A and B are shown apart, each in its own frame.
Chain A
Amino acid sequence: MIIRRLKAFAAFWYDFIVGDDWRVAAGVVAALTLTYLLAHRVSTAVWWVVLVALVVLLPVSIWRAVRSSR
């Protein structure tokens, strides 16, 4: 009973934060990790990393959703 409730609680927060496509969340985490590593190891501008991730993740996620709905 308790485990079932804990699973439901975890499932709710997973759905709330991660949503329909976990790849987007994973991509954001990867992009921010890369930004952090580059920002602390090289002296060049690294603000573009998150934008590149956004430009790749959003259309790919939409394309997958469109493809699966057809």
Chain B
Amino acid sequence: MTGTALFVAVFLACLVEAVEALTIVLAAGTSREWRSALLGVGAGLLVLAATVAALGPAVSALPLSGLRLFVGGLLLVFGLQWLRKAILRASGNKALHDEELIFQTQLDAARTVAVDRRPLVGDWYAFTLSFKGVVLEGLEVVFIALTFGSNQHDIPRAAAAAGAAVVLVVLLGLVIRKPLSRVPENSMKFVVGIMLTAFGAFWGAEGAGARWPGGDGALLVLVPAIALFALALVVAFRRRGAWTSGSASVTTAGVSA
């Protein structure tokens, strides 16, 4: 079960982050210059690869109980962040994530900035916009893939899940050539938040010395229980008409998760 859950959690998390990065890169390439935007993507991927190369062995070298306590705790904090935002969005208390609106805002912002040429880079703005988009969105994926992969002693599976999601998004981006607004990002983030929270709670408590009833089987109860609790919170905090997708929060440096 945990192997499949590992793949699903990393794949979904990577998919939503890749969709967000794609929107930013598309905006940089379309409104400015494709070569500089793609150079920014390449530089961003290099930074992410270096992060994985540096942190991967360090995380894997930790003893299992220490690893589970440290990584489980981080995952739980991270998962609660995702779940908190997902519940706020689903209950109407925070703007829904809207790729079309984000794309348009990025386009408008990019068109107002003058061209700044640097060595090897024809348009510095397009380069930095793509670079930041890839690094900021990619760091979350790196974190999730490393924590899940190291805890399960299966970093290759986590890497495969992340790679599959990136390839899928890049292929769809090449075919559609516009933001992937039909991807149900808000629902997917809700699911990822539940998975991160459940696994974080499970590993964190286990790393601290707790023994779950039923061992790994406890996750079969934990995941649906947290899902039901999150849905109950959506109902409890539901607010009508406070936000629409047209009020999504956007900045030129990136988009809030």
Contact = CB atoms under 8 A, between A and B. Distances in A.
Interface of A: 16-21, 24-25, 28-29, 32-33, 35-36, 39-40, 45-47, 49-51, 54-55, 57-59, 61-63, 65-66, 69
Interface residues of B, number: 39
B151 interface: no
B139 A16 contact: yes
B201 interface: yes
A45 B213 contact: yes
Given A29-B73, A57-B80, A66 B209 contact: no
Nearest to B80: A24
Contact of B205 (A16, A25, A50, A65): A50
B34 interface: no
B78 A47 contact: no
B54 interface: no
B230 to A, nearest CB: 8
A66 B237 contact: yes
Given A19-B81, A61-B84, A66-B237, A45 B73 contact: no
B19 interface: no
A65 B212 contact: no
A60 B76 CA distance: 16
Interface centre among B88, B208, B229 (most CB of A within 10 A): B208
B93 A39 contact: no
B73 A20 contact: no
B210 A45 contact: yes
A54 B93 contact: no
B88 A66 contact: yes
A65 to B, nearest CB: 6
